[in-house]
Structure 1
Amino acid sequence: MSLRSRFALAFAAVGAVVAVTVGALSYLAASDSVFAEVDRTLRSTTVALTRGMEKRQEQTPADQAGPVGPVGQSPGSQSPSSRDPVGPSPGGRDTGSRTPAPFPGLDLPAPGGEAAPQPVLQAVGRDGTPIRLSGPLEKLPVSDAARALAASGEAGQSDTTEIDAGGHSYRLLTTALGESRGALQVAVQVDQTRQVLAGMARQIAAVSLAVMLVAAAAGRLLAGRVTRRLARLAEVAEEVSTDGRVTHYATEPVDGRDEVGRLSASFSRMLGRMVAAREAQERLVHDAAHELRTPLTSLLANATVLHRVTELSPDSRDRLLDDVRHETRELGHLVDELVELALAGGREETEEPVDLAEVARRAARRVYRRSGRLVHVDADGSVVRGRPQGLERAVGNLLENAAKFDADGDEPIEVYIRQGAVTVHDRGPGIAADDTRRVFDRFYRADSARGLPGSGLGLAIVHDVAEAHGGSVSAGARPGGGAAVGFTVSRSRLLPASRPPTGAAAAD
């Protein structure tokens, strides 16, 4: 399943959960509110009926009061047959007079002629016998709970339930009258209420479905905007891994500031570095092929001459062999420089605190062993966070470069270290102003250095090391003659100095 489809399903699921939850809570709240109103109507009707009964009992003379005893039970000698029925006579006409009902004073609803369903009123004697008072039903079912309330002597206790009778649903309230007078039941139809709630449930379901569909569409649209850039990144990665061409993709514009935008920017920067690395590799190979051609041509010429070694004089043969040895050493040195330059940017070397003074002294001792030149180190105790081997290689290249151009000097080579900056002074011919910007280029050799040994890669390695440490390189004239060449390390890598400036000459 694609990421876009997963987004759409996730949004749809969230939308469905939210819609169903809100709809269910709304339905329950509406249902509770409607039935609470129905229950209030039932209670108010019950209260009105019981108060009317009590008021009528107080106003009726004792000799005309009729039965005032327990519901369904006649006092004295009066038999149930002596009570006139409530409402029309069995013959279908009104008797013209109404004898007191089991609940004297009840204002019963008039039968028929009203749009709203009439409530059903029923009395329950203390023995559980139902007595119909009014309404469209002959009688209401009497449950065990209703019988218990009718037999209870405590007035005001009630029970609310729903029943099905006569093909309709009713909300039934049974209230105990107390004093062994039984209970009064009031019921009202709730069919319309149920229909309204059912319609509301259908509407909630429709809205929930609509919300789910809208959420799915929104999720798919949003996922499309997100995955479009991710799909482009995946496409570029696949094409780069297939054919290795990155130049075109490294220059593509990057939009967005979100996580995908940052990923795209990082990917573009990575491709840019790959382009730069490939260009550097191609330039290195091209330059190396050019520089290797000279010593190889010389070796080939000398090898050709060696075929006629018997024709050469001893002096010529010795000079020829010296040339071969010299060219071989130069070729080996060139190969070493090429390897060092190729690995300088990609060497896995752990960064650690590096004392630049110690690095300079180790490099100075190595130069002394090779050339016999003294090196004076004047350091302020700068400690930086960096790669010790790379820094030592850079300082060593600066010293070897100074020793090469100041080979006949008697004064020591000077190394100054201040706040992460390393500068080497020599007393050689110096550097021409036109050459100061190019001396750190690969294989570049000034006119004055054409006859000297070297590959033109030493200062290029210094440049790469300085760049890897967030610094820069510099080349200029030394006050009093000579050259001043050096590099700096980024100040953010400078650690607190541990010693004051010290000066010492390094030698074996």
Structure 2
Amino acid sequence: MSLRSRLALAFAAVGALVAALVGMLSYDAVRDRVLAEIDRSLRSQTTAVAGAGGQATAVAEALAQSPDLFPGADLPGPGDEEERRPVVRAVASDGTSSHLGGPAAALPVPDAAARALAATGTAGESFTTEVVADGTTYRLLTTALGSGRGALQTAVGVDQTYHVLHGMAMEITGAGLAVTLVAAGTGLLVAGRITRRLILLTEAAETVGAQDHTGFEDAGPAGRRDEVSRLTASFRMMLTRLTAAREAQERLVQDAAHELRTPLTSLLTNATVLRHVAELAPPARERLLDDLQGETRELGRLVDELVELALAGGRDEAEEPVDLGAVARRAARRVYRRTGRLVHIDADDRQVIGRPQALERAVGNLVENAAKFAADDGEPIEVRVERGTVTVSDRGPGITDTDRARVFDRFYRADTARALPGSGLGLAIVRDVADTHGGTAFARPRPGGGATVGFVVARSRVLPGSR
């Protein structure tokens, strides 16, 4: 059964339960009120008859002046007037009964309780029962006169009363059914509005593998904050990220296949030449081996950077406070050991909340990239760390406007860098690390020649410092 059907049934069940409870309570309240009014009238009639002293004329007058014993009964029908008139009889202390007034209804012989009340009951003690005589239901009040004088029984037909109550019960039942139908219709309407977006969410989830998200953009109105709207917004964000990740993965695979093809082709060519290595002169043999070693080393470096790039955004690394100044100093020491390049560090003492290894790799890539392009004039590379921004400046060939727009693309290498070692992934990793920390990467020409490249993390990640 669908969720919409279950919600509609739940609404209908609640509506039916409420209608049934209200109907039952209303019916019981009206029934008790009507019967209490009849009992009050019977007690009034008994008091009037008892005051007549048992004389027939006085009893007749008392019955004629008695209040209506059928309150609210105006429906016509056979025997209505007869049923509305009370029946009065006396019960002697020995249990015998005699008719005093009213219709000559063949009331049943007084039962044991009535006889006991007539014989030993105190004045005013009474009880009420219902009896059937000649096919008519009577409500019978038995009241003791006390001092062994017997008891009086006053009865009135209540068939018409129960007829009215039965009609009211049918009306309450009809109203309850109407409430149930209205509740079910409301449930269908509300459930339809709720489940419409859930259905779209389900359809979108089922088509994630096919990357078919058409129609999901209309899954719900913007700006609403109910649970389904929040789920819709979260699901939309998740699908957007899945789509972006899938596209990035495809681009990475395509770019990697393109970049790996060159060293693999070179290795395959050299491996073919190795079949004839005995025919090569020693100098040619040395060049072949050097070429093989260089291509293998370059291939290994490319694979390492591909793995690093693939894991840069998805590595499960806990975030913690990171001192970017200390990270830059470690990167400077590594570059100096490898290349002998001097690196000047100007850093504040602010820390940022981020992934330590990712930030270490990003800063290291910036410094190593600057060392690769810096001029051989002895001028140090300058690294500035301030308020979550890392800026690395060198005096190399600089960056043209064309290159600046693509320098952070994967595998992109400017014309000035094609003769230098590298895969074109270093700055792409820097950009991905900046993105995962809510920031951006930037590159621009340096005044006086050279380039300035760096990245900035989100300001919300920068912790307060002394300066």
State the one-letter code of the partner of 1:355.
D
Report the Cα offset of residue 134 of structure 1. Answer: 1.2
Is the CA contact (8 Å cut-off) linking 1:425 and 1:483 kept in structure 2? yes
Report the Cα offset of residue 425 of structure 1. Answer: 2.3
SS at structure 2 position matched to 1:107: helix
TM-score (norm 2): 0.85
SS at structure 1 position matched to 2:88: strand
SS at structure 2 position matched to 1:410: coil
Q: Matched residues in 2 for 1:211 and 1:114: separation? A: 38
Match of 2:211 among 221, 229, 246: 246
| 1:50-92 CA-partner distances (Å, limit 9, x unpaired) | 4454xxxxxxxxxxxxxxxxx8xxxxxxxxxxxxxxxxxxxxx
SS at structure 1 position matched to 2:169: helix
Match of 1:125 among 92, 95, 112: 92
Match of 2:325 among 357, 363, 374: 357
SS at structure 1 position matched to 2:345: strand
Q: Matched residues in 1 for 2:164 and 2:380: separation? A: 105
State the one-letter code of the partner of 2:220.
D
State the one-letter code of the partner of 2:210.
R
Match of 2:61 among 76, 100, 107: 107
State the one-letter code of the partner of 1:209.
L
State the one-letter code of the partner of 1:245.
A
Q: Matched residues in 1 for 2:215 and 2:251: separation? A: 19
Match of 2:430 among 462, 468, 487: 462
Is the CA contact (8 Å cut-off) linking 1:132 and 1:139 kept in structure 2? no
CA gap 1:176/1:106 in 2 versus in 1, 3 angstroms = farther
> How large is the RMSD of aligned CA atoms in angstroms?
3.0
Q: Matched residues in 2 for 1:493 and 1:265: separation? A: 25
| 1:451-493 CA-partner distances (Å, limit 9, x unpaired) | 2111111000000011011111111234554322111111222
Q: How many residues align?
A: 449
Aligned residue for 1:263?
231
Percent identity reads 65
State the one-letter code of the partner of 1:422.
V
Aligned residue for 1:394?
362
Aligned residue for 2:350?
382
Is the CA contact (8 Å cut-off) linking 1:131 and 1:139 kept in structure 2? no
Aligned residue for 2:314?
346
TM-score (norm 1): 0.79
Report the Cα offset of residue 179 of structure 1. Answer: 4.9
SS at structure 1 position matched to 2:84: coil
When Rg is computed on C-alpha atoms for both structures, the one with the higher figure is 1
Report the Cα offset of residue 150 of structure 1. Answer: 3.4
SS at structure 1 position matched to 2:219: coil
Q: Matched residues in 2 for 1:280 and 1:158: separation? A: 94
2:390 is aligned with 1:425: no
Report the Cα offset of residue 21 of structure 1. Answer: 0.9
Is the CA contact (8 Å cut-off) linking 1:345 and 1:468 kept in structure 2? yes
Q: Matched residues in 1 for 2:138 and 2:95: separation? A: 20
Match of 1:327 among 271, 295, 304: 295
Report the Cα offset of residue 305 of structure 1. Answer: 5.2
Q: Matched residues in 1 for 2:285 and 2:439: separation? A: 50
Q: Matched residues in 1 for 2:265 and 2:98: separation? A: 131
SS at structure 2 position matched to 1:495: coil
CA gap 1:457/1:303 in 2 versus in 1, 3 angstroms = same
Aligned residue for 2:421?
453
Q: Matched residues in 1 for 2:109 and 2:368: separation? A: 115
CA gap 1:152/1:137 in 2 versus in 1, 3 angstroms = same
| 1:354-409 CA-partner distances (Å, limit 9, x unpaired) | 22233323333332332233333332222222211111111111111111111625
Match of 2:145 among 170, 177, 180: 177
Is the CA contact (8 Å cut-off) linking 1:383 and 1:494 kept in structure 2? yes
Report the Cα offset of residue 141 of structure 1. Answer: 3.9
Aligned residue for 1:86?
none
Gaps of 5+ in 2: 65-78
CA gap 1:168/1:292 in 2 versus in 1, 3 angstroms = same
Is the CA contact (8 Å cut-off) linking 1:250 and 1:268 kept in structure 2? no
CA gap 1:139/1:218 in 2 versus in 1, 3 angstroms = closer
SS at structure 2 position matched to 1:161: strand
Moved more, 196-205 or 262-271: 262-271
Is the CA contact (8 Å cut-off) linking 1:155 and 1:177 kept in structure 2? yes
Aligned residue for 2:338?
370
Q: Matched residues in 1 for 2:253 and 2:265: separation? A: 18
Q: Matched residues in 1 for 2:81 and 2:278: separation? A: 143
State the one-letter code of the partner of 1:386.
G
State the one-letter code of the partner of 2:61.
D
Aligned residue for 2:70?
none
Is the CA contact (8 Å cut-off) linking 1:121 and 1:133 kept in structure 2? yes
Moved more, 485-494 or 226-235: 226-235
CA gap 1:35/1:161 in 2 versus in 1, 3 angstroms = same
Q: Matched residues in 1 for 2:147 and 2:304: separation? A: 118
CA gap 1:138/1:444 in 2 versus in 1, 3 angstroms = closer
2:45 is aligned with 1:45: yes
1:246-325 residue pairs with structure 2 within 5 A? 246-249=211-214, 252-256=217-221, 257=224, 258-303=226-271, 314-325=282-293
1:31-70 residue pairs with structure 2 within 5 A? 31-53=31-53
Aligned residue for 1:30?
30
Moved more, 293-302 or 120-129: 293-302
State the one-letter code of the partner of 2:438.
G
Is the CA contact (8 Å cut-off) linking 2:142 and 2:151 kept in structure 1? yes
State the one-letter code of the partner of 1:131.
S
Is the CA contact (8 Å cut-off) linking 2:204 and 2:216 kept in structure 1? no
| 1:304-338 CA-partner distances (Å, limit 9, x unpaired) | 55566566655454444333322222222111111
State the one-letter code of the partner of 1:117.
R
CA gap 1:478/1:166 in 2 versus in 1, 3 angstroms = same
Q: Matched residues in 2 for 1:175 and 1:307: separation? A: 131
1:79-118 residue pairs with structure 2 within 5 A? 100-101=55-56, 107-109=61-63, 114=81, 116-118=83-85
Q: Matched residues in 1 for 2:194 and 2:143: separation? A: 65
| 1:411-467 CA-partner distances (Å, limit 9, x unpaired) | 433322222222222232322233222211111112221221111110000000110
CA gap 1:52/1:364 in 2 versus in 1, 3 angstroms = farther
SS at structure 2 position matched to 1:348: coil
State the one-letter code of the partner of 2:98.
I
State the one-letter code of the partner of 2:219.
V
Aligned residue for 1:410?
378
2:442 is aligned with 1:477: no
Aligned residue for 2:13?
13
